Structure 1
């Protein structure tokens, strides 16, 4: 590996070596320019994605429920109720479609997109539009070989991205102590810290909000710096339940729409 897969910088430093999928010895390097921590030559990805959702991901349902509430409250703070009701959103890297179905069930017009997974639960609501008011990408960017290209793709479709990926601190964590490396399943190959996100925001001309840990917003628009804090605070007190009462679930209207499509 001669250049960074994010910024194309050539000043790379070996961070550590570790075994992936219990059999491949892999070097992990840090880019001194953008601080992306990345696995060198991730040749095992086809094997790692024999199933798009790895078998050890026991938190998939609780995580999606949490992201549902966080996203709804964040969009409420950014857009207000009326605009939320008329907006169209996309889930980038939507996996089996769990999140899209959850969001449509509470009343938000979400669509699914994922090159590497089957859409099992949001069939009929695949993304095929040219513009979205916001895109979400939860637990996606740590999987990507060339993350900057995906950021560019997203911002060709939308002015705003709400996403999650766990940030590493100033120095790469000990490979024996940070669970997020995911060596056993081999699907996590790209790791960000705050400076990496700052670099992406600078290069693409975006505004960055981050909680400093796992939740982030990039946007062409100016966004209140308190949005993430407010969303997490409101969720703690169950404010999302009041929000959902003000929305109209798409569960039954989606059912009627899909049944009508089958008639033609």
Structure 2
């Protein structure tokens, strides 16, 4: 990064921070909300001023965590919510200091599972009534999965779509077991592996996609309004997709060969 761009970003962070603080002070100090964006702006500022990624990450992480602790003690001392930021605040400089080692599967699995373990313990100790640790766990699993299968898109699509389906199914079960809404993200995520495996087979892709779409609308029809058979209308419209592909793509290919 050249000096002009670095100075521009640094001055921009300072100007934005001063502006937000001024707005917070002039509009009322009953809630000191400006500390959150200012804390975020201090991270790139410390990174740029130090000129070293490793040192900058340590300073930025320390500043951000310190400001959050101060805000926690000032506003809600009865509930220490800053502990939820501790794993990320510690992990970020460790990952930066690790450098290229962070791109290796062993480091990715060790770091991600360590963070997941921290959030599971925090969930058990602070909020055992609701299993919220599934959300950071879902996000953290993409790190080792992406590194392990990043160069294998077909395998990544299967594992990734399976992870998404399991996650939304768990959220559906925990938050709203009476409403089977998980069928909507399942329908959406199935197109990821289908598009990769059937990209070079347009007729088979059209047949599979149409079948999945008809099955989706039929399932929604049965779950939402079984007394009205409205799924036949989108099923009729979708059936034109494989029909048109067969006559205008697949059949022409067979004739030309």
Please give the TM-score of this superposition, normalised by the length of structure 1. 0.21
1 or 2 for the larger relative contact order (CA 8 Å, sep ≥6)? Answer: 1
Higher strand fraction (1 or 2) = 1
Task: Name which one, 1 or 2, has greater alpha-carbon Rg.
Answer: 2
Please give the TM-score of this superposition, normalised by the length of structure 2. 0.22
Higher helix fraction (1 or 2) = 2
